[in-house]
């Protein structure tokens, strides 16, 4: 069992160490390989995602990615390493769960997961403009739609979830969103044990605000999935708790949703729970260790219930290492 560890920049380094420590405690056979990516790497080596890092990630299959800083201006030769890594490893689905935790800042009773197509839709970035008319290509393919739908239904059946809601806007976009929906229906037919329904994306946004607890798995094309998953993350306590997994056939990248947080980097107060919960996703979805993932989630829940949390969650709050020790004690004690 191998894990490619990419700490990245800023708080990436601080939270990855903690999450990887949790995995090491649970998987005695885990072999760690450390690789570099990000802004600091770019400044040192002239590449944000060096070839050696890509090779390491391919070889391991499982990757843990912290966070990287991206310049807010155009820098010649710099490309976002995480976007490149997802594409190079063929991680076609982005899994974003929202789970209620025992905190006043969380909406209670929510346990949903958004499965977002990760490779196409308007995000192919194919735009044109003559100053009067601007156009963007919305690319939807049968291959990518079937692939992400299969990931959603596989996840639902392995995770014991009951229902998949297909999100689209096929009333206005019958060719593109219609194709996405038809592919999802086609895959759904192979999973008779799982209920399927459909919802227009605007209705879904309203329902998510009104009754997030009524959703289970949401399957969405790239753009709708991006927007709805940020909306849903607000119910789960925000960035310090938001976990994600990029999933493909040959690789998976665990990645907390947050960035490198330069405003708090080096202060020892970054919330490590988003990274720890991303590690739990790697355990459940990639390594099929539902038992271990459930233990990690229970330890996180207990830690919060006992009032141990960083300042983004609680005032005054404690440091990263304090939370890390508390989780570890509840996990192994
Ligand atoms: P950010 O997620 O780094 O920070 C937003 C706010 O949330 C900040 O106030 C930060 O202190 C707080 N925050 C984030 N994670 C936290 C944690 N674990 N514990 C406590 N507080 C936390 O987003 P921002 O500020 O927009 O971007 C900063 C840098 O990160 C930029 O260079 C951006 O390009 C990069 N970024 C990288 C991502 C990635 O590597 N996947 C994703 C998002 C941003
Ligand atoms: Mg987003």
Count of beta carbons in the 10 Å neighbourhood of residue 291: 10
Count of beta carbons in the 10 Å neighbourhood of residue 316: 5
What was the pLDDT predicted at 247? Answer: 97
CB 82 near ligand 1, within 6 Å: yes
What was the pLDDT predicted at 160? Answer: 87
Q: Is the peptide bond before 316 cis (omega within 30 degrees of 0)?
A: yes
Instruction: Report CA-CA distances (Å) from 125 to 3, 64, 96, 128, 223.
Output: 31, 27, 22, 10, 12
What was the pLDDT predicted at 2? Answer: 98
CB 237 near ligand 1, within 6 Å: no
What was the pLDDT predicted at 125? Answer: 81
The fold adopted by the segment(s) 107-236 is Isopropylmalate Dehydrogenase (3.40.718)
The fold adopted by the segment(s) 1-92+239-333 is Isopropylmalate Dehydrogenase (3.40.718)
CB 100 near ligand 1, within 6 Å: no
Percent of the chain with pLDDT over 70: 100
CB 299 within 8 A of CB 26: no
CB 273 near ligand 1, within 6 Å: no
CA–centroid distance, residue 164 to ligand 2 (Å): 22
Of 69-83, 178-192, 203-217, 314-328, the range with the lowest mean pLDDT is 69-83
CB 130 near ligand 1, within 6 Å: no
CB 274 near ligand 1, within 6 Å: yes
Ligand nearest, relative to CA of residue 317 = 1
Task: Supply the mean pLDDT for the chain.
Answer: 96
- Bridge partners of residue 134, in order along the sequence: 129
- Please check whether the two domains, 1-92+239-333 and 107-236, share a CATH topology: yes
- Does pLDDT of 191 surpass 90? yes
End-to-end CA distance of the chain: 25
Q: What is the atom index within ligand 1 of the atom nearest the CA of 8?
A: 40
CA–centroid distance, residue 172 to ligand 1 (Å): 35
Q: What is the atom index within ligand 1 of the atom nearest the CA of 68?
A: 40
CB 240 near ligand 1, within 6 Å: yes
Q: 13-33 pLDDT, tens per residue?
A: 999 999 999 999 999 999 999
What was the pLDDT predicted at 231? Answer: 93
Ligand 1 pocket test target in 66, 96, 260, 322 with most atoms within 8 Å of CB: 260
CB 254 within 8 A of CB 282: yes
Count of beta carbons in the 10 Å neighbourhood of residue 41: 21
What was the pLDDT predicted at 73? Answer: 87
Ligand nearest, relative to CA of residue 69 = 1
Closest C-alpha residue for ligand 1 atom 16: 240
Please report the sign of the dihedral spanned by the C-alpha atoms of residue 289, residue 292, residue 297, residue 300.
negative
CA–centroid distance, residue 261 to ligand 1 (Å): 4
User: pLDDT category, 83, cuts 50, 70, 90?
Assistant: confident
Three-state secondary structure readout of the chain: CEEEEEEECCHHHHHHHHHHHHHHHHCCCCEEEEECCCHHHHHHHCCCCCHHHHHHHHHHCEEEEEECCCCCCCCCCCCCHHHHHHHHCCCCEEEEEEECCCCCCCCCCCEEEEEEECCCEHHHCCEEECCCCEEECCECCHHHHHHHHHHHHHHHHHCCCCEEEEEECCCCCCCHHHHHHHHHHHHHCCCCCCEEEEEEHHHHHHHHHHCHHHCCEEEECHHHHHHHHHHHHHHHCCHHHCCCEEECCCCEEECCCCCCCCCCCCCCCCCCHHHHHHHHHHHHHHCCCHHHHHHHHHHHHHHHHCCCCCCCCCCCCCCHHHHHHHHHHHHHC
Residues 214-219, mean pLDDT to the nearest whole number? 98
- Does pLDDT of 123 surpass 90? no
What was the pLDDT predicted at 171? Answer: 97
Provide the annotated active-site residues. 123, 169, 202, 226, 230
Domain residue extents for the chain: 1-92+239-333, 107-236
CB 94 near ligand 1, within 6 Å: no
User: pLDDT category, 79, cuts 50, 70, 90?
Assistant: confident
Name all contacts of 300-307 with Cβ < 8 Å and 24+ positions apart.
Answer: 300/101, 300/273, 300/276, 300/327, 301/101, 301/102, 302/330, 303/273, 303/327, 303/330, 304/101, 304/102, 304/103, 304/273, 305/102
Q: 235-290 pLDDT, tens per residue?
A: 999 999 999 999 999 999 999 999 999 999 999 999 999 999 999 999 999 999 99
Residues 110-119, mean pLDDT to the nearest whole number? 96
- Bridge partners of residue 218, in order along the sequence: 114, 165
Please tell me the pTM assigned to this model. Answer: 0.93
- Does pLDDT of 93 surpass 90? yes
CA–centroid distance, residue 50 to ligand 1 (Å): 23
- Does pLDDT of 72 surpass 90? no
Ligand nearest, relative to CA of residue 233 = 2
């Amino acid at each position: 069992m191998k894990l490619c560890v990419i700490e990245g920049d800023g708080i990436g380094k601080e939270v990855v160490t903690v999450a990887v420590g949790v995995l090491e405690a649970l998987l005695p056979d885990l072999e760690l390989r450390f690789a570099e990516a990000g802004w600091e790497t770019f400044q040192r080596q002239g590449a944000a995602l060096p070839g050696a890092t890509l090779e390491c990630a391919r070889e391991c299959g499982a990757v843990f990615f912290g966070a990287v800083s991206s310049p807010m201006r155009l820098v010649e030769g710099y490309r976002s390493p995480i976007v490149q890594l997802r594409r190079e490893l063929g991680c076609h689905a982005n899994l974003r769960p929202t789970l209620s935790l025992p905190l006043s800042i969380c909406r209670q009773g929510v346990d949903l997961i958004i499965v977002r197509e990760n490779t196409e839709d308007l995000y192919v970035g194919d735009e044109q403009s003559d100053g009067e008319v601007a156009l963007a290509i919305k690319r939807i393919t049968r291959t990518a739609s079937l692939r992400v739908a299969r990931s959603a239904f596989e996840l639902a059946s392995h995770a014991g979830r009951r229902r998949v809601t297909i999100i689209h806007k096929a009333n206005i976009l019958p060719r593109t969103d219609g194709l996405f929906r038809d592919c999802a229906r086609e895959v759904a037919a192979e999973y008779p044990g799982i209920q399927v329904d459909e919802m227009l994306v605007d209705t879904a946004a309203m329902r998510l605000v009104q009754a997030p607890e009524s959703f289970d798995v949401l399957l969405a094309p790239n753009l709708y999935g991006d927007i709805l998953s940020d909306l849903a993350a607000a119910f789960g306590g925000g960035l310090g708790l938001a976990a994600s997994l990029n999933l493909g056939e040959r690789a998976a990248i665990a990645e907390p949703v947050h960035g490198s947080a330069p405003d708090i980097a080096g202060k020892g107060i970054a919330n490590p729970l988003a990274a720890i919960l991303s590690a739990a996703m790697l355990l459940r979805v990639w390594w099929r260790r539902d038992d271990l993932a459930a233990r990690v989630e229970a330890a996180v829940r207990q830690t919060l219930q006992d009032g141990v949390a960083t300042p983004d969650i609680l005032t005054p709050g404690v440091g990263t290492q304090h939370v890390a020790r508390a989780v570890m004690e509840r996990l192994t004690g």
